[in-house]
């Protein structure tokens, strides 16, 4: 039931919200010479984990690929459909249910305030979903992970595919801002 719900959420074109609230992290293996990377490819269908939330929705997966391709092209990398390449880009995603709790009240008397009652105010609980987009760069010579970038934020529903693609492009740009390592400082 839960997997059906997650699939249907992505079918409704749910994506990470505005980039200002996107939390981005990255890490990489310092043994790799990223300056030698020139070409890349996407994994073949047989290499994709079919249980991944992103892979189960081809529309969103294609949008992520388009956003990544745009960023990598701007950085000077060339997409190759066949032949030898330097690295493969693997994109995957996940969604978690989250809860946020806010305490209000309490007043000047601490937890006891005659205006708010003996318990000092009220509690507001809200539920939301947090989505995480992961972009992995796998070195094809060693077949090992060379770089990983993640972006996490609140999931949002889109009624306009163009607006969704624009926000997705901005999110992918933030995730890939530090690829290759040192690129953001140049």
- Torsion, Cα of 106, 110, 115, 118 (10° steps): 90
pLDDT at 158 over 80: yes
Look at residue 106 and give its three-state secondary structure: coil
Name residues whose C-beta falls within 8 Å of residue 126's C-beta, 6 or more positions apart in sequence.
99, 100, 102
53 and 10 Cβ atoms separated by less than 8 Å: yes
Is domain 2-179 annotated with CATH 3.30.160.670? yes
User: What pLDDT, in 10s, does the model give residues 160-182?
Assistant: 889 989 999 999 999 999 999 97
- Predicted confidence at residue 151, as pLDDT, reads 94
Question: DSSP characters for 135-172?
Answer: EEEEETTTTEEEEEEEEEEEEEE-S-HHHHHHHHHHHH
Q: What is the pLDDT of residue 127?
A: 78
Tokens linked to 178: 């530090």
pLDDT over 70 at 72, yes or no: yes
User: In the chain, what is the straight-line distance between the N-terminal and C-terminal CA atoms, in Å?
Assistant: 48
For the chain, the average pLDDT equals: 81
Distance CA 181, CA 148 (A): 11
Would you kindly state where each structural domain of the chain is located, as residue ranges?
2-179
pLDDT tens sequence across 114-143:
555 555 566 777 777 788 999 999 999 999
Strands (DSSP E) along the chain, which ranges?
14-16, 23-28, 39-41, 78-79, 87-104, 122-139, 144-157
């Amino acid at each position: 039931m839960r997997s059906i719900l997650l699939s249907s959420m992505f079918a409704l074109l749910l994506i990470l919200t505005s980039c200002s609230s996107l939390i981005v992290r990255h890490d990489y293996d310092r043994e790799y010479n990223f300056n030698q990377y020139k070409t890349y490819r996407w994994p073949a269908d047989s290499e994709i984990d079919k249980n991944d939330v992103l892979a189960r929705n081809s529309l969103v997966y294609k949008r992520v690929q388009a956003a990544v391709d745009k960023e990598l092209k701007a950085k000077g990398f060339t997409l190759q459909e066949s032949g030898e390449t330097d690295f493969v880009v693997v994109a995957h995603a996940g969604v978690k249910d989250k809860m946020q709790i806010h305490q209000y009240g309490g007043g000047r008397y601490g937890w006891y305030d005659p205006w708010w009652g003996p318990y000092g105010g009220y509690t507001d609980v809200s539920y939301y979903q947090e989505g995480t987009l992961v972009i992995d760069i796998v070195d094809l010579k060693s077949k090992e992970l060379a770089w990983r970038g993640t972006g996490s934020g609140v999931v949002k529903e889109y009624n306009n595919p163009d607006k969704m693609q624009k926000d997705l492009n901005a999110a992918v740009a933030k995730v890939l801002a530090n690829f290759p390592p040192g690129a953001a400082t140049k």
